[in-house]
Chains A and B, each alone.
Chain A
Amino acid sequence: SQTIHQWPATLVQPVGSPLSLECTVEGTSNPNLYWYRQAAGRGLQLLFYSVGIGQISSEVPQNLSASRPQDRQFILSSKKLLLSDSGFYLCAWSPDHPGLGQPQHFGDGTRLSIL
């Protein structure tokens, strides 16, 4: 069966520090991968998605970036964190493009607090 792993579960970082969040998927190949951010009481905001190695699409302009160095690995990064980057970051995968209606499968997220 397929599983998705995200780490770390919680992270406290000072303003201006770099960030690297990692997500890996097991049990499937060539998944579509997504990074979302969820603010308290708000919907999930799509940040990046990837349909293949090295293929990244950005949904919102910000100081975050994403990379997909391997088929089942998705990394969210920042060179300098801002206070506004605080939030709950979720990685997800789906077997096909969302247009086809396949459900997305989420990791358990990273709670990021910027001090």
Chain B
Amino acid sequence: SQKIEQNSEALNIQEGKTATLTCNYTNYSPAYLQWYRQDPGRGPVFLLLIRENEKEKRKERLKVTFDTTLKQSLFHITASQPADSATYLCALRNAGNMLTFGGGTRLMVKP
């Protein structure tokens, strides 16, 4: 079955630095991958989608890369702010055409 791995340890960075979160997957070649932001006690909010034929996608301070050879996606937040503190989830389309979500990585941006 498909597995998604995100670093379960929180990522602590200083305000203004670039945060980089990793999403690794196995046993599948997804047609696309999505990233979501989840605040405590709230539902996830969609951020970006990247398709298998795209290497990189940008949206404001966010950048996502997709390496289908390494089976990895990287999610970058440049010029990070304390308001960026949240849990970030990656999700990929699985063999059943549904989304499989990773466990998320908590990002803490310190002022």
Binding site for B on A (CB under 8 A): 36, 41-44, 46, 49, 59, 90, 92, 97-99, 101, 103-109, 111
Contact = CB atoms under 8 A, between A and B. Distances in A.
B8 A103 contact: no
B35 to A, nearest CB: 10
B103 A43 contact: yes
Nearest to B43: A106
Interface of B: 4, 8, 31-32, 34, 41-46, 49, 51, 89, 91, 93, 97-104
Contacts of A42: 103
Contacts of B51: 101
Contact of B101 (A43, A49, A97, A103): A43
B41 A105 contact: no
B80 to A, nearest CB: 22
Contacts of A49: 98
